[in-house]
Every structure is written in C-alpha cells, then in structure tokens.
Amino acid sequence: MLTYAARRLAVMVPTLAIVVLLVFFATRAMPGDPIGVMLSDHSADLVLASRLRAEYGLDRPLGEQLGHYFLGLLTGDLGLSFRYLHVSVAAVLASGIRVSLTLATLALALAVPLGVAGGVLAAVRRNRWQDNTIMATMIGMISVPNFALATFLVYLFSIRLHVLPVAGWGTVAQAVLPTLVLALPAAAYIGRLARSFMLEVLRQDYIRAARAKGLSPTAIVLGHALRNTMVPLSTSIGVVFGGLLSATFVVETLFNIPGLGRLAIDSIFGRDYPVISAIVLLFTVFYALINLGVDLLYAAIDPRIRLA
Amino acid sequence: MRALAVACVLAAMAIAPPVADAKMLRVNIVADPAMIDPITYSELVATNVMRPMYEGFTRTRDDGASEPALATGWSFSADNKVLTFRLRDGVRFHSGRPFGAKDVKYTFEELLRPGNKGGLNAPSLKTIAGAAEFADGKATGISGIRVIDPLTVEIDFVRPDVLFPIYPFQFMDSGTVAELGPDWMTKASAGTGPYKFVRWTRGVEVEEAANPAYWGGAPKIDGIHFLVVPSGDTALSMYDAGELDYVEVPESSFRRVLADDRYARELLKVGKAQVNYLGMNQSLYAPFRDIRVRQAMSLAIDRAAMIKGLFNNAAIPLNGQVTPGVAGFHDGLPPLAFDPARAKQLMADAGFPDGKGLPTVQITSTAPFKDEITYLAGQFKRVLGMPVEVNVVERATHIRAMNAGEEALFPWGWTADYPDAQTFLGAMWTSGSPYNRTRYKNPEFDRIMADAQLAGDANKRYALYGEAEKVLMADWATAPLPITTYVALRKPNVHGLTETPFGFSSFQPVVID
C-alpha cells in the first residue's frame, strides 16, 4: 500500500509540471499587463513603468521568466505578489488556504451524514411518500443555483430575522450560512447516489439471507447494507469534496469570505500572475491528493480490494 | 450523525443577534489596500485607509479648498524658486515623537531613494533641486531641501511649482524604521493623523483606533473598521442588517439604491472630482481637424438622456473640463446643448452631408463602459451619419494605447490627483503632457497654462484657469461628458461623515449616537 501511494505521488510531479506550464502561458496570454494595472491611469510614466517591469523580472524573455519560476518552485519559493507590495505569494495564500479548507470540510461534514441518512431512508421507504418527499427535496436542492439560495438565506436569516450575520468570516455564526449553501446541494447529490447504491445492495442475496434469518430491518440496513453502500459512495465523496472546493469561488464572493476562491478572482482582475499560478497549482494538488485518498480509503473499507 | 448533532448545537449556540459596537465606525472598502505606507502609496483604496492616519502640509476641506495642516504657513521667493514652510508646533507622531522639518526631509528622500518603489507622491518631487541626482544614486541626500530649524524647512526648485504646498503628501516619522524595522507598516502607523493603525487582516479589514493626542482634537469615536467587501450587493445587505454604519455604494448597485425609497433619507450623492470627456484625436481621424465636426460631435450627444438612462441619475452635467469642488472650477459655462438639426447642418458645412465621405472610426473603451460607447456610437451614426464601430478592450491595454496617442475616439476620464484645476487642464490638454491622450495642441491654451503654473496667488491662478478653459471649449477640443457621482448611505445615528468630491470626508469629527 505504501509503495502504491509513493508511486501515485511520483506520478503527480509531471502532472503538476504540465499545469505550471499551462497556467504560466495562460496568464501571459491574458490581455493587459500587471504593471499597467499597478499604475492604472498613470501608466504614461514610462520611467516608473520600466523600473517596475525590471524589478518584477517582466522585462526578461518568457523562457527565462519560466525557468526562473520553475527554479523557485523547486526551492519552495512561489515568488512575490504583484498586487501586494513586498508580500510573498506564500503569505498571501496562507490564511486563504486555511479558510477554504475549513469551509469545504465543514460543508462535507454536514453534507455526508445528511445525504446518507436521506438516501438510505428514501431507499428503505422506496416509492412511498417518504421516498417521494425526500427525492423531490433533493432535486430542488440540486436545481437551485447556490447564489440564489445564498441570497434567499441571507434575506431570511440576516435581514428579516436578524439571527445570522450577512457576511464575513471569523465567528461560528458567520460560518453557518456559507456552510449550508455549500452543503445542501452536495447533500442532495450524495443522497441520490446513496439511495441508488442502497437499493442495489438491498437486492443482494446476503440481504435476503439476513432477512430469512429473522434479523430486524434496522439491523439489516445499518449492520449489513450500509457498509457495502459506503464503498461506491466513498469515491463520489472525493469528487464532491473537489466540487465543494470549486464552489467556494462563488460562495466566498457572496459571503465575503477571505478564502482562496475570492483571492483567485481578485488576483485574476489584478493580473497577479504569481498568485493565480499558485492557486491553480494548489487546487491541482488538492484534487490529486483527494483522488489518492479515495483510492486508499477504498481498500480500507472493502477488504476485497487490493491496491497494486 | 453525532458530528451533525454537534454541529447543530454549536451553530445554535452561535445564533445571537450581531452586537453593534457603539463607538466603532464600520465602513466598506472594495478591496484590500495594495500597501499601507506613505512611501509606496499609489492607489485609491490605500488613499481611503491612509488619509485618517497621515497628513501633509495642507488638507482638502469638504468644499474642495485647501487649508493648512502640518504647515501653518509658507512663502515663495520673488522668482518662486525657493519655498519656505513654517511647520505646526506641538504636533506629535503616533509614536509620541515630535513632528518637525527633519521628517519632511526624510519623507521626501525616502520617496525618491533608489530601490524604494516611491509611489504616487514621488513624481511631485521632481522639480526640487538635487532630486534627480539623488534618485539616480549620485548623491546621498536631496541638496535642495534644507532644515533651517526644527520647524522651518526651505526647498529650492529647478522649476517653480506653485502648487507644491497643496500636494497630498503624507509625512512619515523618521524614527519609525529604526524602531520597528523594515516591515514597520504591519505593526504601526508612522503619521500624525487623528487615527492610528491597529491591524490589517488581509481580505477582512483594516482597523484603526482614535489618536487621543491628535493636534486637531481627539476623535469622538473609538476607531474605524474598514471592512473589505468587494461585492456591492453584499455591502448593501450588510448595511441593511446593521453590519455597516456607512457604505460607499459600488456602481453596480446604484440602480438598486437609487430606486428604493427606503434609502432616500440616508442617501448621499456628490459629484466626483473626476472629469469625463470625449477624446477626439485629430491626427488619427482627419475629419476631427475641422472644428465644425468637433462641435457637431458634442451637439449629437443627449446628455440628459445619458444621465437618466445610462447613469440612473447618479451623474451631473459637466460643461467644461474642471469639476465642481476642485479649486479653479468656474460655474456659469454655457450648458452643452443637444441639437441634432444644428449638428447635421455643421456636418454639411464641413463637407460631410449626412455623413457622406466620412471614413470609419472606432470608439474604444473597456467592458464596464460598453453601454456608454454603444450609446455614443448610435448617436454619431444616427445624427451625423458617421460610421462608428464599437471596440471593447481590456483596461490596461486601453490606458496604454490612449496614453500613447493610439486611439482616435474614446470617452474617458481623469481623477484629480490634488485639489487644483491644474490636475485636469494641465494633464489632459497642454501639449507635451504624457496624459494628453488626444495630442491636442493650442499655443494660446499652452501659454495661459504656463502663466498659471507661475501664479503663486491662488485667485490669479483660478482666473487663468477660467480663461484657459474658455479657450479649450471655444476650440471644441473635446465634448465634455457627464461626471458620475459618489453614492453613499449613512445610518441616521452617524454624524459628521459625508461624501466629498474626493471620497470620504475627514473621519476626525465623526460622532455615533
């Protein structure tokens, strides 16, 4: 298992290198340049512009800039932010990473139990009113776009009822609405999968055997069926986590949360190349690690699966 | 399941109405400042958070006039080449150290020190004797700045600059770097202003506390939270929920605010110190060389319709090239008419009846102004028969091309750098200015502006600006366009804070009931 993990990690290196290349050229291909953004209306000050260009190494040939960037990455140096004077990219990202991961994790912690409970209940009560109600609710939660849901929740809880703050980050109360907005569609997605996986498992022979032995329905579902439902579901949960990280782009902007998503958007508008590259790189690493984690989890949940 | 239960309990515990801190003012800023020190200072968000902490020789009053701040007076030599400042006695920096002439010299030298990335205020120093040598690393100090005594500083100029006292300098405590190190700006402020730096949490807020020792009197509130809120809708929701006491409304939310009666009593609307104009480059589009064509362009624009339809009434007409509230503004220029019949006649007189014979021209701007250029292109086509193509480009590219004189037709603006009409008339329309984007050249206009640059007497200078502006308008160098307004909302319990043409008014007199 360790060799497997090590091999998977090694394969990540070329993937990351390709991502770095793509992002490097994509940011350079964007119209406009960071010095122009820095100087704004005053960009006719050519002396100042050329001095800044030299300071940030932007007057060098592209190949040299790329080489310099790669070398920096190897030594763990992500460079200096273009937008925040004197501040390193690592410092700009540090707090954002913590915020986005916390937010996505909170949402996942809420979405998984909610989704699994809903899905299992719907499967067990298949085609009865419980099933119909749960499924209708879940389809609704998936269909409503997160910005609409957010606006509605803010209007209801913050402006009408005054029980939760509109936006911001730092207190538990401020985390409630963004977590809900992220978690509800994820829970619905997980719930629908859980329902179909559970239905499949409930048709298996060993369940029939358990029923024949006279086990209570609760014991059958929780003791035997649920664990086998979790195997295929765990892959999907990895995907959901990745999706949650991407959804933070919208949710962080709406709720004014200083995470990676909002930072990415600000950096794109500010042509902060080093910060954009670092964020894309980070997301790539997250996705790769999530996939690896899911594969390892697979083996842990299902002893029949051997990793090689 | 247990995790869910715990989460629910935690959330329930946290559900409590947000408590408003009665003595802290909460206002929004649209982004983090890019920097928070007076040396590299170079952008608008930084202006908002730094103005309460740092001061210059003078400050701008709410009505746009300048009044003495850290200088109590100054005098020019007969040839205007030597300027002597008398500094205010008894002023202390936030560190407790006294402010004096040495700090003026220090701030100026730090702005120009090679490798220091001196920001917006650095170019204002280039007329000082010895500044160029110092900036090139050929001298250890700026020879033209002399500390006469702790409260007197004398400055020699290579070229007279009568506006020097009103430039928005931000004087910095010369002892700060030695005390706190090169990253001092993350720990403290080094100014003399009514508020001091507490902390900057990136992406969240800049917090400032009242300076009880402020020479102009201690503020009556405990401090200010500048909350970073990029989205206008979020800022408005926060204001509605009582999480902001004062909100500068971003343009994207103007429609919502101006249409809602709830806000009527809390609404503030003030024209910005930012001229707008239609750039017509005579060397890139030959028909613009005919004054009749330039006048017809202006006559083809229905400014009242623009104000209502494009700006949701958050704009006011501009009849010249100086905005109200900037010293040197002259009221009473004739209003610019919308007169399609006369415009058509002028085009016919110029040899382009119904636009016949006009080559195609592109009108260029950035995405946020797409509607504006589409409207203008439509007017020029419909009224003048001019074949106009709409061209939307990225902002930095657009600004570079305009400054390089590569765009033929464009509506754009210029934000005042300091409170004097020179900032508009000088930068935009004198020949040779790097920001003269239409490459307009009129010797008479240039001569009057040169005289104004030597007029130390403010009233004489303002009169000259009036003359220059008349020459400019008689020549139809441009078609002035409506200027947009700041729109802000202020809670009824907040007093002493308003919008000025330069943004927030001073925070020193703010009172919260």
Per-residue pLDDT, B14: 45
Nearest to A187 by CA among A199, A198, A179: A179
Q: What does the domain layout of chain A look like in residue ranges?
A: 2-89, 93-301
A140 in reach of chain B (CB within 8 A) = no
So what's the ipTM on this one? 0.77
Per-residue pLDDT, B22: 57
Whether residue B106 is found in the same domain as residue B165: yes
A256 in reach of chain B (CB within 8 A) = yes
Contact B53, B193 (CB under 8 A): yes
Taking contacts as CB-CB distances below 8 angstroms, the residues of chain B near A30 are 394
Residue written as tokens 């086509």? Answer: B381
Contact A181, A149 (CB under 8 A): yes
- B62-66 contacts: CB < 8 A, separation 24 or more? B62/B498, B62/B500, B62/B505, B62/B506, B63/B325, B64/B273, B64/B324, B64/B325, B64/B326, B64/B327, B64/B329, B64/B419, B64/B500, B64/B501, B64/B502, B65/B327, B65/B419, B66/B165, B66/B166, B66/B327, B66/B419
Whether residue B68 is found in the same domain as residue B140: yes
Q: Do B203 and A165 touch (CB under 8 A)?
A: no
Please tell me what DSSP assigns to residue B382: I
Closest Cα in chain A, distance from residue B41 (Å): 10
CATH architecture of A93-301: Orthogonal Bundle (1.10)
CA dist., res. B421 & res. B211, Å (int) = 33
CA dist., res. B231 & res. A213, Å (int) = 61
Q: Where residue B349 sits, what CATH number does that domain have?
A: 3.10.105.10
A164 in reach of chain B (CB within 8 A) = yes
CA dist., res. A20 & res. A73, Å (int) = 10
Asked whether residue B179 is domain-assigned, the answer is no
Q: Do B35 and A45 touch (CB under 8 A)?
A: no
Distances in Å between the Cα of B444 and the Cα atoms of A78, B140, B459, B469, B472 are 54, 42, 20, 11, 9
Per-residue pLDDT, B17: 41
pLDDT tens for the 513 residues of chain B, in order = 444 444 444 444 444 444 444 589 999 998 888 889 999 888 888 999 999 999 999 999 888 889 999 999 999 999 999 999 999 999 999 999 999 999 999 999 999 998 887 888 888 898 999 999 999 999 999 999 999 999 999 999 999 999 999 999 999 999 999 999 988 998 999 999 999 999 998 888 999 999 999 999 999 999 999 999 988 888 999 999 899 999 999 888 888 899 889 999 999 999 999 999 999 999 999 999 999 999 999 999 999 999 999 998 999 999 999 999 999 999 889 999 999 999 999 999 999 999 999 999 999 999 889 999 999 999 999 999 999 999 999 887 888 889 889 999 999 999 898 999 999 999 999 998 888 999 999 999 999 999 998 888 889 999 999 999 999 999 999 999 999 999 999 999 999 999 999 999 999 999 998
Per-residue pLDDT, B432: 86
Instruction: Point out the residue among A85, A165, A259 whose CB comes nearest to the CB of B40.
Output: A85
Q: What is the pTM of this model?
A: 0.84
Enumerate residues 6+ apart whose C-beta is below 8 A from A88.
Answer: A78, A79, A80, A81
**Residue B281 burial (CB count, 10 A):** 19
Whether residue B68 is found in the same domain as residue B163: yes
Per-residue pLDDT, B2: 47
Whether residue B479 is found in the same domain as residue B386: yes
Closest Cα in chain B, distance from residue A16 (Å): 28
Whether residue B478 is found in the same domain as residue B331: yes
Q: Do A166 and B238 touch (CB under 8 A)?
A: yes
Whether residue B143 is found in the same domain as residue B163: yes
Tokens of B441: 């050249």
Instruction: Dump pLDDT digits (tens) for A193-211.
Output: 999 999 988 888 888 888 8
Instruction: Point out the residue among B42, B203, B399 whose CB comes nearest to the CB of A36.
Output: B399
Whether residue B315 is found in the same domain as residue B258: no
Asked whether residue B347 is domain-assigned, the answer is yes
Whether residue B150 is found in the same domain as residue B241: no
Taking contacts as CB-CB distances below 8 angstroms, the residues of chain A near B393 are 31
Taking contacts as CB-CB distances below 8 angstroms, the residues of chain B near A255 are 234
Mean pLDDT, 10 residues at a time, chain A of 308 residues: 82 86 84 72 69 79 87 84 82 88 93 92 89 91 90 90 87 91 93 91 87 85 84 84 87 90 85 87 87 81 70
Asked whether residue B49 is domain-assigned, the answer is no
Taking contacts as CB-CB distances below 8 angstroms, the residues of chain A near B400 are 36, 43
Q: Do B231 and A32 touch (CB under 8 A)?
A: no
Domain end residue (candidates: B114, B142, B173): B173
The single-letter code of the amino acid at B130 is G
Residue of B nearest to A41 (CA): B399
Q: Do B7 and A83 touch (CB under 8 A)?
A: no
Whether residue B329 is found in the same domain as residue B387: yes
Total domains in chain B come to 3
Per-residue pLDDT, B106: 97
Asked whether residue B48 is domain-assigned, the answer is no
Burial class (CB in 10 A: 0-12, 13-18, 19+), B175: middle
Enumerate residues 6+ apart whose C-beta is below 8 A from A206.
Answer: A224
Whether residue B281 is found in the same domain as residue B255: no
Whether residue B203 is found in the same domain as residue B338: no
Asked whether residue B1 is domain-assigned, the answer is no
Sign of CA dihedral B33, B39, B44, B48: positive
A-B contacts (CB, under 8 Å): 140
Whether residue B413 is found in the same domain as residue B425: yes
Per-residue pLDDT, A41: 65
Per-residue pLDDT, B15: 44
Asked whether residue B23 is domain-assigned, the answer is no
Per-residue pLDDT, B8: 45
Question: How does strand B503-504 pair with strand B499-500?
Answer: antiparallel
Q: Which of A56, A86, A105, A260 to mutate to test the interface with B (most CBs of B within 10 A)?
A: A86
CA dist., res. B256 & res. B260, Å (int) = 6
Domain end residue (candidates: B138, B173, B208): B173
CA dist., res. B339 & res. B301, Å (int) = 8
A83 in reach of chain B (CB within 8 A) = yes
Which range of residues forms the domain containing residue B240?
Answer: 193-271+486-512
